[in-house]
Amino acid sequence: MSQQFDALIDSYIANKVGIDKNFISTALSKGLQQNIRQLQDDDALKTAGIGNSRLKDANQQMRSDKICWLDKTNNNVYEQEFLELAESFIGHLNRTCYTGINSYEFHYAVYEEGNFYKRHIDQFRSDSNRKFSLINYLNEDWLEEDGGQLYLYQDETVQKIQPESQTAVFFKSDEMEHEVALCKRSRMSITGWLKQV
Ligand code: OGA
Ligand code: MN
């Protein structure tokens, strides 16, 4: 378990972008996909906000995905398993890197065809609680032409990541500029933040 976490942490230390192509199991990925389909059927995915702003129109020019927050009290077996994995990762990170993370939040996100999230960082100006971003993708057989890649901007370079099932990406929320390219196919993920509150 902690060896698995080291893959994500070591690549983060080396490149400022941690990547692990096997962070969650296939079974958990499928369970979480199933949860998202249920949320879609229940019309429970909502337009996401940006920062603390209530300006919905401005938000939608920045991002057009729909989200729903995970919550342990939902008593969903896959959601519980995912959040327990996230908690183990946080414990390991705190022990090995002295990060002092004491809170977290995760949401499901769905980008339909035509959706995007323009270049941004994840820490709000008015709220510096978010220390690290952790993204988990839930899409099988993602092709280059499906769009929806995560673009990460560092210095003069752009790193592109396919949102493929079981892949996790980890970076610092206050410095890493990133973007979700225009999606040409429905794209599912769980995105979250490790926080100090
Ligand atoms: C976000 C975000 C990236 C992705 O939700 O803040 O940047 O690849 N997501 O889904
Ligand atoms: Mn982001």
Cα of 94 from ligand 1 centre, angstroms = 23
Task: Please choose, from the candidates 159, 160, 164, 116, the residue with its C-alpha nearest in 3D space to the C-alpha of residue 142.
Answer: 164
Least confident of 4-8, 22-26, 142-146: 4-8
Question: CATH fold of 2-195, please?
Answer: Jelly Rolls (2.60.120)
pLDDT for position 51: 63
191 CA from centroid of ligand 1 (Å): 6
pLDDT at 1: 62
Bridge partner residues of 180 (DSSP) = 117, 150
What distance in Å separates the CA atoms of residue 162 and residue 193, rounded to the nearest whole number?
20
Question: What are the tens digits of pLDDT across the range 157-196?
Answer: 999 999 999 999 999 999 999 999 999 999 999 999 999 9
Ligand 1 pocket mutation, candidates 165, 189, 194, criterion most atoms within 8 A of CB: 189
CA distances (Å), 169 to each of 1, 37, 99, 163, in order? 17, 23, 17, 10
What share of the chain has pLDDT > 90, as a percent? 87
pLDDT tens, position by position, 37-83? 999 999 999 997 766 656 677 777 899 999 999 999 999 999 999 99
Structure tokens at 130: 């978010």
Q: Which atom of ligand 1 is nearest to the CA of 163?
A: 8
Ligand 1, residues at Cβ distance < 6 Å: 109, 117, 122, 135, 150, 163, 178, 180, 189, 191
Residue extents of the structural domains in the chain = 2-195
Buried b (16+ CB within 10 A) or exposed e, 70-95: beeeeebebbebbbebbeebbebbee
Neighbour order of strands in the sheet with 46-47: 18-20, 168-172, 130-137, 187-195, 103-111, 66-69, 46-47
How much of the chain, in percent, has pLDDT values that exceed 70? Answer: 94
Residue 90 and residue 197 in contact, taking contact as beta carbons nearer than 8 Å: no
Q: Give residue 3's pLDDT.
A: 75
Q: Which residues, including other chains, have CB under 8 Å from residue 122's CB and lie 6 or more apart?
A: 130, 133, 173, 174, 176, 193
